[in-house]
Structure 1
Amino acid sequence: MRRVVLLLLALPLLAAVPQAGRPRIAVGGIAHESNSFNPAKTLLEDFALRPTGPLPQIFDQWAKANDICSGYVEGARKYGLDLVPTLIAAATPKGPVAADAFETLTTELVRRLRAVAKLDGILLDLHGALVSERYPHGDAEIVRRVREAFGPALPIVVTHDFHANVSPEIVRLSTALVTYKENPHVDTRERGVQAARIIAGAAAGKLRPVQALAKPDMMYNIVFQYTRREPLLPIVQESRRLEANTKILACSVAGGYQYADVAFMGPSVVVVTDGDPALAEREAKRLAGMLWATRDRLKLDLPDAAAAVRRAASGDRFPVILVDMGDNIGGGSAGDSTFVLSELLAQKASGWVVVLADPAAAAEAARRGIGADFEGLVGGKADRLHGEPVRVRGTVKSLHDGRFLETAVRHGGQRYYDQGLTAVIEVEGSTRDLQSLLMLTTRRQ
């Protein structure tokens, strides 16, 4: 992935040709989900830019994906907007963003936004769970600086991930806030279109967005954040039903992000109406009450790794997916937990696939080459929270560059991935019919 430090020089070449009568909308964003409990800070070099190149190429890449920016493009075509990309940076979830990285990116974003001539509005793609060394709610600080640069009148519509920790400040500073409704995040493009509709109406003076926030005093563990079943399903359905009311421009229910140790962590409801603050407040409080009513159902009963492997190995329906809930790369964890791998080896299970982020082990496998014997310690190297390194013996089955294209609408709607040099090890004890495979990646993806 190309890095922001290089791309900062390339983006000033981008420019859109304005069309008479069409609102001119800048697109920008700094997206990061920051895990307060990960000791590894997120540095400037961890950030990469979304599609780069000539403007038509950027729009073409966005149009083929299913993320928020894809929705912005679809919405721009639908509602007659001229979009101008500025700085759109993102990094894989990790520890809090280093202070210098936050300052560099935010300053550059504001500078690029200021450079856009005849600006009628701004679409900001912010994750909603960015924590920096200095700011517990980095997203709100970004919006504060953008608002300070452009004044109170310019429409600024913000989009957030479902796992956003929404604070009163960002609701106060933005014209409208829209979050994903679904987890997994399969509705990102839809939310981008929704945001484009709101900013088109606001820029033209046809809509007067006002919004209200309600936050119940609770935490929604990620185990319960699947939106296609209880307890969240009826609440998400109600948010969609409310949006059938032409006075309600957006009704967002965010599950929150439990790995950010901040005061406003937890679920939230944001309702945006067309000039009706009382309606926004009433419905936000009502849906927050629906969240609160589920609190007694949020009881965890998860097996440990040993029990999970025993249960999986003794079953008769396959495949079985074992998820280490404490090592979620998408939540900023290390990606090298060895608890499940240790149990698979200890219990002599076969016919399994495990993926670990271990650049040193991947490089060693590549050095040995395809078909060579492999023996080494894998995983458990990033910190002491995810198990000890485990000794693995086997054969290097294949090597890959780690790049792949996601064609389906899955997590966040992203399309282009690069997990770096990747090695697949066929672990000792595999049979022709039941291979046990260990995939070692260089990057956490």
Structure 2
Amino acid sequence: ALMGVLERSIQHAGPIDAWLLAPHGAAVAENASDADGDWLTRLRSIVGRDKPIVGTLDMHANVSEAMVKACDALLAYKTNPHLDQKERGIKAASLLLDSLESHQRLYTGFASLPMSINIERQATAEPQGALLHQWEGRWYERESNLVDVSWVYGFPYADVQEMGASVLTIVWDDPEQANSIAEELAKLWWTQREAFRGKMIDRRDAVKLANQSEGTIGLLDMGDNIGGGSPGDGTIIAHELLHQECLPAFLWLHDPSSVQRAAEIGPGNFGKFSLGGKTDPRHGSPIVDTFEVVSIHDGRFRDNQVRHGGYCTYDQGPTAVLRSAKGLVIMIASERVAPVSLAQLTEFGIRPNDFRAIVIKGVHAPVAAYAEVCDRMIRVNTPGVTTADDGALEYQNRRKPMFPWEFVAG
């Protein structure tokens, strides 16, 4: 049905000289494991080979041969957190216009690696990511025809053949050169594969480190990563904070029924709550205690800073702020909103530096905001649906052999 709508829209659009697209690159459908490759191929079959198609990908794309074959040029975001979407979109548009005006052809080189990059190690500003961009700079100096390089980290939570890391290159008028450069860069990346293996700090060690550290510590809850599709009601780290008395601490939870109860109790009053842990046992058990209802809000907030995903307005629905006598402050909300903005706290009276620890339900996306207030950030391996533990992910369709699960020669 969706593809039918797309095809009719294209056919009714009238004459179009070129196509600028923004596929994510990791979409999976029940009847199409490579959903982006599928719709891009259909688009190409409708518009013909002579119409340029240029697309931007998320750097978590699982790139396929079909995607590359359908497009003249594909380029991915270069930052994680994704802060360069505008810049990459501008570059894609510029390349498309240059191609139209010069009548030159863009070609994309593609090299897929038998390697899954652990989500914990996908921060582009950290040493393992910075090294890739150093290599890239050398190739620009060496290859005058090279106009773009994308290091695509892949999306390990998609159980498909295409899952994994890849390199994309774009050159003018020379498909063999494009593929040759992509292959050379992929071989270099492969030599550094151990640097992209997860470190896996568990909740006990993470909270112990937080207690030993100075200032405000951000604890990134990788197993309850809202941006990755988790329930947002995980309590595992909060229970450990209470156990090790790493307080005061802040926690955000998706818990609509408790928001309703807080509204009934009213600000300034106290009540017994059972918070979070309502989805399933692997995200933790509810936090049961007496809390003061500090405040009630409509849940709307705004942030004009450059944040992951480019959003500036947010709405987490009716929201309440609760505080226990032990020093645990919990914001409960009616809608899931990924923690990519400090305004999610500050707009509702929360001062981040009042806390020893802040539990942040994400991996990389929150860093652009929370690095401003956290003296240290620790990625915590928790057992939720978005766990970073490679060994806990059960695949049936991925390639084999593949790093880090099996030995791969070379």
Q: The TM-score by the shorter chain falls in which range?
A: 0.7 to 0.9
Equivalent positions of 1:264-279 (< 5 A) are 264-279=162-177
* Partner secondary structure for residue 220 of structure 2: coil
Counterparts of 1:311-322 in structure 2, within 5 Å, are 311-315=209-213, 317-322=214-219
Match of 1:440 in 2: 332
Matches within 5 A, 1:357-396: 357-396=254-293
Aligned equivalent of 1:289: 187
Report the secondary structure of 2:127's partner residue. Answer: coil
Which of 80, 87, 108 lines up with 2:5 in the alignment? 108
Find 2:311's aligned residue among 400, 406, 414.
414
The percent of aligned pairs where both chains have the same amino acid is 36
1:272: Cα distance to partner? 1.3
Amino acid at match of 1:185: H
**CA 1:246–1:413: 2 relative to 1, 3 Å:** farther
Tell me how far apart the structure 2 counterparts of residues 425 and 351 of structure 1 sit (CA, whole Å): 13
Deviation of 1:340 after TM superposition, in Å, equals 0.5
Greater alpha carbon shift after TM alignment, 411-420 vs 232-241: 232-241
Aligned to 2:243: 346
What does 1:7-22 correspond to in 2, within 5 Å? none
Following the alignment from structure 1 to structure 2, what is the Cα–Cα distance between the partners of residues 203 and 374?
66
- What TM-score do you get using the length of structure 2 for normalisation? 0.77
Q: Which residue pairs with 2:372 in the alignment? A: none
The separation in 2 between residues aligned to 1:440 and 1:355, in whole angstroms, is 6
Deviations along 1:61-106, one digit per CA (max 9) or x if unpaired, are: xxxxxxxxxxxxxxxxxxxxxxxxxxxxxxxxxxxxxxxxxx43x4
- Ranges in structure 2 where 5+ consecutive residues have no aligned partner: 338-410
C-alpha displacement of 1:358 = 2.0
> Where does residue 397 of structure 1 map in the other structure?
294
Partners of 1:418 and 1:383 in 2: CA distance:
25
Aligned residue type for 1:443: E
Give the alignment's Cα RMSD to 1 decimal.
2.0
Q: Distance in 1 between matches of 2:301 and 2:7?
A: 33
Q: Which residue of 2 aligns with 1:261?
A: 159
- Whole-angstrom distance in 1 between the partners of 2:225 and 2:279: 14
What is the rounded CA distance, in whole Å, between the counterparts of 2:271 and 2:51 in structure 1?
59
Tell me the distance in 2 between the aligned counterparts of 1:195 and 1:416. Answer: 26
The two structures have a TM-score, normalised by structure 1, of 0.71
Q: Is the 8 A contact 1:211 1:270 kept in 2?
A: yes
Match of 1:131 in 2: 28
Q: CA deviation at 1:128?
A: 1.3
Q: Which has the higher contact order (CA 8 A, sep 6+)?
A: 2
Q: Which moved more, 1:236-245 or 1:267-276?
A: 236-245
Query: For 1:3-402, what aligned pairs fall within 5 Å after superposition?
Result: 103-104=1-2, 106-240=3-137, 242-243=139-140, 246-315=144-213, 317-402=214-299
Offset, 1:369: 2.4
Structure 2 CA distance for aligned equivalents of residues 149 and 401 of structure 1: 46
Give how far 1:119 is off. Answer: 1.1
- 1:94 is matched with which residue? none
Change (3 A) 1:377 1:145: farther
Asked if the contact 1:181/1:236 (under 8 Å) is kept, the reply is no
